[in-house]
Amino acid sequence: MAEDIGIDLGTANVLVAVTGKGVVLNEPSVVAVDTKTNKVLAVGKEAYEMVGRTPGNIKAIRPLKDGVISDFDITEEMLTHFISKLNVKGFVSKPKVMICAPTNITNIERKAIIEAAQKAVGGEVFLEEEPKVAAVGAGMDIFQPTGSMVIDIGGGTSDIAVVSLGDIVASKSLKIAGDVMNQDIIDYMKQHHKIVVGEHTAEKIKKTIGTAKASSSNDQHMDVRGRDAVTGMPISVTITSKEIATALAGTIEQIVNGAKNVLETIPPELAADIIDRGIMLTGGGSMLADLDQVISDELTVPVVISEDPLENVAKGAGVLLDHMSKSQPQKQRRRFNLFGNRKA
């Protein structure tokens, strides 16, 4: 019997869950390619270490942009590499595969994701919407006749959805998430400190002292090295978490406004449920310090960060596939609408 797999095909990271085993792979969505020969040199963690440090003929490529495929061939190579690393015996009989994607992708983008997965893995491929799967992975019971709200902040997109009876009632997908936050920090450092830093450094700053709320009681400091924007020479400056809160304020405001827009469109009964149950915050971006408090203050609704925000989408895909494999009649599968975007 094949061991089915769920894949969180993220802009920043790819996570793979195998039914019965949980998340078995978590690597950056980066591929290093020799532009002279078009040969893939490294994939995942090894390729990520090359970002910003490669010679002219080696290019570190992120084949996914804003949660969708921007380079089909490289995505296929990346998926094939990751799946081969798993070395799961059941794959010889072609597993069922669930891929998770943002809520607002086009039919062309949907087809590209499915085709890449079919070529890399084989077997049946299903496409499901990220916020719904993230809610399941976070432990929410989305099949009850009550409203559940999830905000999934990834690398390329922030997906906001209200779910009831196993389907999405209202949703919004914003191309504003972790990558944009990194760029906010890069821009702030150049504008206010006249220092040029790369993507790796911006990510490190965000994880080390990044916060969504400036607080004098918890103002951390960090020394940052980079290139002087004026002289071009290496320099070091000291920045504070208050500054990072200022740099990220605009992006966080857009995410909050997206959540407000979704709440404004749902029936009042579901809005009442969300006041009682709160909002689940998930995805790597949700780990930014004090982000839950800022969103809660703005929406006047309780906000909870899930236990494993990075793994919720992949875990949720695994849970749904496991649910499907337990000899559920086809009719019942349709009733639960587990695969709202249909099989390939």
**pLDDT in 10s for each residue of the chain, 344 residues:** 457 889 998 999 999 998 888 899 999 999 999 988 989 999 999 999 887 777 888 888 999 887 788 888 899 899 989 988 886 544 546 788 999 988 888 888 888 888 888 888 877 899 999 999 999 999 999 989 999 999 999 999 999 999 999 899 999 999 999 999 999 999 999 999 999 999 999 999 999 999 999 875 678 999 999 999 999 999 999 999 999 999 999 999 999 999 999 999 999 999 999 999 999 999 999 999 999 999 999 999 999 999 999 999 999 998 888 777 664 544 444 433 444 444 44
Residue 204 annotated in ligand binding: yes
Query: Which among 217, 205, 294 is positioned nearest to 250, based on CA atoms?
Result: 294
Residue 12 annotated in ligand binding: yes
Residue 155 annotated in ligand binding: yes
258 and 218 in a common domain: no
∠68-66-211 over CA atoms, to 5°? 145
Q: Does residue 343 belong to any structural domain of this protein?
A: no
Boundaries of domain holding 192: 178-247
Residue 203 annotated in ligand binding: yes
193 and 51 in a common domain: no
Residue 205 annotated in ligand binding: yes
197 and 291 in a common domain: no
Report pLDDT for 101. 85
Q: Does residue 258 belong to any structural domain of this protein?
A: yes
77 and 25 in a common domain: yes
Report pLDDT for 334. 40
Report pLDDT for 121. 80
Judged by DSSP in three states, 9 sits in: strand
Residue 37 annotated in ligand binding: no
CATH number at residue 63: 3.30.420.40
236 and 98 in a common domain: no
117 residue type, one letter: A
43 and 9 in a common domain: yes
Whole-angstrom distance, CA of residue 304 vs CA of residue 150: 10
Domain count, the chain: 3
Report pLDDT for 117. 86
Q: Does residue 128 belong to any structural domain of this protein?
A: yes
pTM above 0.85, yes or no: yes
| Burial (Cβ within 10 Å: 0-12, 13-18, ≥19) of residue 334 | exposed
Whole-angstrom distance, CA of residue 127 vs CA of residue 243: 40
Report pLDDT for 3. 76
CATH number at residue 215: 3.90.640.10
269 and 150 in a common domain: yes
Distances (CA, A) of 273 to 146, 239, 266: 6, 42, 11
Token pair of 35, please? 């532009």
326 and 207 in a common domain: no
Residue 13 annotated in ligand binding: yes
Query: Which among 147, 97, 143, 145 is positioned nearest to 124, based on CA atoms?
Result: 97
149 and 82 in a common domain: no
Token pair of 331, please? 């009719």
Token pair of 326, please? 């337990």
Residue 206 annotated in ligand binding: yes
27 and 92 in a common domain: yes
